[in-house]
Every structure is written in C-alpha cells, then in structure tokens.
Amino acid sequence: MSSSILTRHLRETIHINRHVPLAWPALRAFLSVLTPLLVLLGLDRLDLVAGAVFGALTSVYCRSEPYRNQTRSLAAVAAGMVVAVGLGDAIALADVAPWQHRLLVVTGTAVVGALATAATTAVKLGAPGGLIFSFATGACANLPITPAEVAPQLAVCAVSGAFAWLVCTAGAAAAGLRPQRRAVAAALEATAAYLANRSDVLARHRSAVAVETAWTRLALVGGRQRDTAAHRALIQTTEICEVLGSSGRAASETIRSLRETAARIRRGESPAAPGYAREESAAVPALPPSRWCTIRGVLLAAVRPGRGSGSWLVPFALRVGIAALLAGVLADLLDTGHIYWAGVSAVSVLQATSTSRSVPRMLQRVAGTVGGVLIGLVLLSLHPAVWVIILLLAGFQWAVEATMPVNYALGLLFATPVALLVSGMMTQASPTQLASSRLWATLLGAAVAVLVAWLAPHGAWLARLRNSLALVKELTELPRPDPERLRNALVELHDAYETAAGELPDSQLPTEELLVVSRRAYKLLDRGAVTGSAGGDSARSGSGRS
C-alpha cells in the first residue's frame, strides 16, 4: 500500500463530519430505548429484552429525512426488524446438532445482512444500512428461547418498533422545514464551491446532486408547510442555485453571498435577501415516486443479471454475505465465542459500497471497538443493578446517535458497551468472556471484510459505469434531450464513477471520456436552464423526482 493511499485512508478515518443533525436523533433514540425497557422492568419480563431493544433501534434510521419519508420508511424498518428477530428465533429453536446450529447462526446472520444491505442501499436509506437487521438475527439466534416465548418476543418487538415510529414521526412533524433548510443550505454551499472553481467538472456534479437533493426534499413536505411563504422562499433559493450553476460567470461577491445565505438558512433565518427575493410565485415540486419502487429494479437484476438498473447491487450483496459467512465460520473454528459478532462486524464494514471506503471504516471500527470494550468491561465488572443497566443502555444509545454521524469510531466507542450490556442481560457469560469475544470477533470480521472486498471480482462496478456513460452519451446525441432524464442519468453516472474509483485502478477507469461527456451534457442542461428555469421549470414541477 503506497504512502499516499495510507495517508488518504488515515485522513478519512479521522474525518469529522459537520452540519449533521445531532440533538433530536439522539433524544429520540434515548426515548425509544428507555421506555420499553422500563415497561418490561415494571412487568418483570426482562426475558423479552432482545425484542424490545431491536424494535427500539428502528429509531436509528432516517435521522434527517423529511416527515413524509420517515412515516413510510420507518414503518418498513420496524416491520423488517420483526422479521429479522423472528428468523433469529426460528434458528434458536432449530432441533439440530450444536455444530449445525452454529452454522445456521452464521448463515442467517450473513443472509439477512446481505439482503438488508442491498435493500437499504437501493433505496438510499442511509446508515446503519443492513447492520441492525443482521445483528438482530444473530443475537436472537443465540437466545435460550422456548416455543412459547416466540410470540411474546415478536409482539414486544412490534410494539417497541411502533413506539419508536411514533416518537420519530412526531419529531419529524414538529421539525417542520428543518430537513428542507439543511438541503437548500447544502445546495447553496455546493453551488458556491463550483462557481469558485468552474473548471472542476466533479464540483459541477456535486453541485447538481445537491440541487437535486434539495428539490426532492422540497417536494416532501407536510400539508401545513407546503406552499407557505417559507417553503416558497426555499424553492426560489434553489432555483437561484440552478440558474447560477448554469451561468457563464459569477463574481466573488455572488459566491460570498451564497455562502452567507446558506449560513442564515442553517440558523433558521429567512433566505430572502437583495438579489434573491423574487416577485413571481415559485412552482412547488411534484411528489417523487415511492423510493421503495426501486427494489423492483434490484429484484429484476437478481433474476436477469445486467438488465436491471441495480444490477451492481447483486454482487455487492453477495460480497457482504460471503464476508459475513466466512467471518462467522472462522470465528467458530477459532472459538472466539459469540460467533455472530464476527459476521455482524463484516456486514458493518461492508456498508461502504467500495473497497477504498471499507478500509477507513475498518480502521474506525477497530479503534472504536477497542475503546468501547474497555468501557463495557469496566461496567460489567461492577455488576450494576438491572435498572442501572437500562439507564446505561439508553444513555449510551443517546451518545451513539450524537457521535456516530460525526465519526464512526466515536459512535462505536459507545455502541460497543450497548452490545456488551445487552448480551450481559441475555447470557450468563462473564464480563471477561464477553469483552474478549467482542474484541476478537470484531477484529476478525473487519479483517475478513476488507480481504473479501479486495479479492472479490470488480466487473459489475465497471459495467455499471460503462452502462451509465453510454446512456448519458445517447441522451446528449438526441435532437431534443429530455432534461429530467439527462439530469438523473448524470447523477447515476457520477455515483457509478465514485464507487468504481474505489474498486479499480485509475488505468481501467474511463475518466477522460467521462469528463468530456459530462461537460457536453451539462452544457446542454445549462442552455435549457438559462432560458427556462428562472421563471419556474414546468417540467420540474410537473414530473416526479427520484
């Protein structure tokens, strides 16, 4: 590994993310975990703690999504948690030899991790992707459960998930236009960055993606905020981003104004300012199609490889499943204990969609786990009372959600004690055994994940890139290209390129061709935007956005 690559990996490992919502996502996770556990404590049914915890972890998804997305997506997540817990319970009840049961555990963990990762990646659900579903199946598969306890545990999981859904969606409704404000501020900042360096076609792409994201967010508002003065002001500001991004030049005063406007929007102030206020009414974007329709494309790709738009997700899911299975089998052979932890660790590392992104994630996972194991070992060695453990679980989950978006290693510093405390409540293993199992299984799973990512075939990523490039070329050669379709094709092209760049050497990437085709496509879009977008693009307001 060259020093430049190592330096890049280390820089990405210690990178601190800014401008991410922290306070409410952390609070909603705290409430979602604490409440059902206190109820179970009062009912003296802590034997059902696994179902309650995994149902509550519905709250860690869709942390910054608009209200309309959260209501649907979190309902699907909660239902998925019940399925994952149910599959784990079925494995726990399997009447097979011990070695066969261990094989079922690692296989179930791997299969759920692979399928959930592909589904969450396809619909761009975001972190933590397929990780929690895989964790739920593996943990429940190791429970000493009886057939009579399955129905109560699934019921508790469903109720806990429903409560988490209620907390999250209530908060999303109260958030109003905050998700839209963040998206529009990001679009302003990306547009300013591009205007400061117009020769960088990748900066142009990042600006285009940020504007597309802002349009999607602006469409997904509740009835009370839709077409209000604040909503229209955000729409008008996004239109300005689109027009300036396609303009010939921009003065340094304009660039500074964009950044100042972004800062005002993030503070919750009105974006209206001299040069940004517009008299004509803004066209409210139409609602995009359901994001879950995307899964049909993935299923098509599984049945007819290469024919669906999500065909690259099939080998990606296979990579996750193989890594998790191999990690679990090796953990069993090495007798690390809690073998599903190795598979879950592999699934976690491979939530990054390319090998280059997996390495920093592995380093972060190892660093966070080492510190978290020490914290968990100290706490377990103190043998705290059950009610203290419940408070610690809720408190640590709050800390996870407050730090995970900032840096993955910081999040794991608190997530690891959560896993150890939950396992301590479900098993009779000693604190030293639990800590040792967690450490070695995590190290093994992370190492196997990166090794599998390096050795796995990369043809699907290159095929996706070439297919995307061919589609953009085809659209630009039409007499009158469809702007909406060309925009979406460009977003897919650059996303495919960024992913492939983490898989393949530079010599195999059609970088020069991509730059030429992208410039031509953006020029076509810019000419259309200059003449039509300033007054409100009818195509944009009348068609769905994906």
- What per-residue confidence (pLDDT) applies to 65? 76
Of 274, 293, 311, which one is at a domain's C-terminal end? 311
Of 311, 335, 361, which one is at a domain's C-terminal end? 311
Question: Which carries the bigger pLDDT value, residue 333 or residue 280?
Answer: 333
- The residue segments making up the domain with residue 144 are 21-175+312-455
The stretch 347-351 carries a mean pLDDT of 86
Residue 315 has pLDDT above 90, yes or no: no
At position 337, the amino acid (one-letter code) is: G
Residue 218 has pLDDT above 50, yes or no: yes
Does residue 212 sit in the same domain as residue 347? no
Model pLDDT for residues 69-99, shown as the tens digit of each residue: 788 889 999 999 999 999 999 999 998 999 9
The stretch 417-425 carries a mean pLDDT of 86
Residue 134 has pLDDT above 50, yes or no: yes
Block residue for tokens 């996750």: 320
Neighbouring C-beta atoms of residue 172, cutoff 10 Å: 25
Does residue 492 sit in the same domain as residue 389? no
For the four alpha carbons of 497, 502, 503 and 506, in that order, the dihedral sign comes to positive
Q: At what angle do helices 340-349 and 355-381 cross, to 10 degrees?
A: 140
Does residue 1 fall inside a structural domain? no
Question: Which carries the bigger pLDDT value, residue 249 or residue 348?
Answer: 348
The stretch 219-238 carries a mean pLDDT of 79
Does residue 360 fall inside a structural domain? yes
Band of pLDDT at residue 221, cut at 50, 70 and 90 = confident
Question: Which carries the bigger pLDDT value, residue 489 or residue 328?
Answer: 328
Does residue 75 sit in the same domain as residue 151? yes
- What per-residue confidence (pLDDT) applies to 300? 55
Residue 546 has pLDDT above 70, yes or no: no
Q: How far is Cα of residue 336 from the mean position of the Cα atoms in its chain?
A: 29
- What per-residue confidence (pLDDT) applies to 467? 87
Residue 502 has pLDDT above 80, yes or no: no
Does residue 169 fall inside a structural domain? yes
473, two tokens: 């070329």
Out of 368-377, 483-492, 536-545, least confident range: 536-545
Residue 361 has pLDDT above 90, yes or no: no
Does residue 290 sit in the same domain as residue 386? no
Short-list 1, 109, 32, 20, CA closest to 63: 20
Does residue 5 fall inside a structural domain? no
Does residue 218 sit in the same domain as residue 268? yes
Out of 209-213, 322-326, 447-451, least confident range: 209-213
Question: Which carries the bigger pLDDT value, residue 516 or residue 75?
Answer: 75
Percentage of residues of the chain with pLDDT beyond 90: 23
Model pLDDT for residues 160-211, shown as the tens digit of each residue: 999 999 998 887 777 677 888 888 888 888 888 888 887 777 787 788 888 8
- What per-residue confidence (pLDDT) applies to 195? 84
> Could you tell me how many helices (H) and strands (E) the chain has, helices first?
22, 0
Model pLDDT for residues 391-416, shown as the tens digit of each residue: 999 998 898 888 887 777 888 888 88
Of 261, 289, 311, which one is at a domain's C-terminal end? 311
Does residue 433 fall inside a structural domain? yes
Percentage of residues of the chain with pLDDT beyond 70: 82
Which residues, including other chains, have CB under 8 Å from residue 352's CB and lie 6 or more apart?
Answer: 358, 360, 361
Question: Which carries the bigger pLDDT value, residue 154 or residue 500?
Answer: 154
Indicate left, alpha or beta for 222 from its phi (over 0: left) and psi (-120 to 50: alpha).
beta
Give me the number of domains the chain comprises. Answer: 3
Question: Which carries the bigger pLDDT value, residue 165 or residue 500?
Answer: 165
Does residue 99 sit in the same domain as residue 130? yes
Residue 104 has pLDDT above 50, yes or no: yes
Model pLDDT for residues 2-58, shown as the tens digit of each residue: 444 445 555 555 555 665 666 778 888 899 999 999 999 999 998 899 999 999 999
Neighbouring C-beta atoms of residue 511, cutoff 10 Å: 12
Does residue 189 sit in the same domain as residue 171? no
Does residue 48 fall inside a structural domain? yes
Across 146-164, b (16+ Cβ under 10 Å) vs e yields eeebbeebbebbbbbbebb
Which residues, including other chains, have CB under 8 Å from residue 491's CB and lie 6 or more apart?
Answer: 205, 208, 209, 212
Does residue 133 sit in the same domain as residue 83? yes
Does residue 78 sit in the same domain as residue 138? yes
Residue 273 has pLDDT above 80, yes or no: no
Does residue 479 fall inside a structural domain? yes
Band of pLDDT at residue 333, cut at 50, 70 and 90 = very high
- What per-residue confidence (pLDDT) applies to 38? 94
Does residue 203 sit in the same domain as residue 264? yes
For the four alpha carbons of 323, 329, 333 and 337, in that order, the dihedral sign comes to positive
Residue 293 has pLDDT above 60, yes or no: no
Does residue 215 sit in the same domain as residue 236? yes
Short-list 378, 459, 382, CA closest to 416: 378
Does residue 376 sit in the same domain as residue 469? no
Does residue 13 fall inside a structural domain? no
